[in-house]
Amino acid sequence: MKRITFLVLFCILCVPIFRDSVFSAGTGVAFLKIGVGARQIGMGGANVALADDINAIYWNPAGLARLEKREFTAMHNEWIVDFKYDFLAFAHPLKRGLIKNSFPATLGGGLIYLNLGEFQGRDEYRNKTNTFKAYDTAGIISYAQKLNPRLNLGISLKYIYEKIEIEKAKGVALDFGLIYQTKIKNLNLGFTVQNLGPKMKFINEPFSLPLVLTAGIAYTYYGLNLACDLRWQPIEERTNISLGTEYWPFKIFALRAGYLTRLFTSNLKFAPKDNVLGKFYGLGAGFGFRFADVGIDYSFVPYSDLGNSHRISFIAKF
């Protein structure tokens, strides 16, 4: 550990405070909160009740039960300070689920990979040693079941792995999700519990997983999708709100915009301002194209002097 530079410590411990991956003392593997899908990030991350494509494997596994065809997605994210964040996932609808009823189900799997790059090691006297790499990854297996015409249930199992030089950390976590279609046409409610699991340990230091509870609402009206999520992080004692909108002026083209509020502390006061994030902190925007069963999405999130985040997603149904 003596060879891990100050830069690495900054990257691992401080970077996750930036917008969609908040870090607080006592939790780790905050890369699990970065978010996947250019469409969803362009809408400020408001997707718990709207989840209706393969990216539901991350946002709300219950949304997988809404898939009518097999879906595949690949996302690449040019994140801040030259970090690379990638996501792959596949989902396969089943005619019948594990629960004995006539409703369908869906199986899915995904892989998250965050490459933190290569760093220069130093010894206890600050002399240069060898270079080394650091990365985080998580494998996901999901199952979703339609319980009745209005209610979907989903569950995901995650295997988490982190590595910095020769040091490693491993762990498991569960996600649970529900989506309920209300009696009001096109109005859905959603709820998720993410990253529920035992503490992980890095070297000899135990830390909690970044537990997140989210409730959301979504409404669709003639090509316009509106969504709002209330996200609570009980261990960090913080809460934020995501607002998102998506408009399809044509069947093949969509415009998106979203906003993630600054965090509230447990007493509902605003968290201290991070000036480094700039005045556009929390904003997101993007667009997407659909050609038959193939789609390409792009999103943009500004981080002021830290640079900008660009996500590109590809999705196919077959």
Domain membership of residue 266 (yes or no) is yes
Domain membership of residue 184 (yes or no) is yes
Separation in Å, CA 21 to CA 67, 239, 240: 28, 12, 12
Domain membership of residue 249 (yes or no) is yes
Domain membership of residue 1 (yes or no) is no
CA separation for the pair 204, 207 (Å, rounded): 10
pLDDT for position 266? 52
Q: Exposure string (b/e) for 87-107, b if CB count within 10 Å is 16 or more?
A: bebbbebeeebeeeeebbbbe
CA separation for the pair 213, 45 (Å, rounded): 14
pLDDT at 160 over 50: yes
In total, how many domains does the chain have? Answer: 1
pLDDT (tens digit per residue) in 209-228:
999 999 999 999 999 999 99
Domain membership of residue 260 (yes or no) is yes
| pTM beyond 0.85, yes or no | no
pLDDT for position 78? 79
Domain membership of residue 59 (yes or no) is yes
End-to-end CA distance of the chain: 48
Domain membership of residue 103 (yes or no) is yes
Query: What is the domain extent for residue 312?
Result: 6-317
10 Å Cβ neighbour count for 6? 9
pLDDT for position 269? 53
What percent of the chain is modeled with pLDDT above 90? 55
pLDDT for position 271? 52
CATH number at residue 175: 2.40.160.60
pLDDT at 25 over 70: no
Confidence of residue 165 (pLDDT cuts 50, 70, 90): confident
pLDDT at 163 over 80: yes
Average pLDDT over residues 247-263: 90
pLDDT (tens digit per residue) in 39-56:
999 999 999 999 999 999
Domain membership of residue 20 (yes or no) is yes
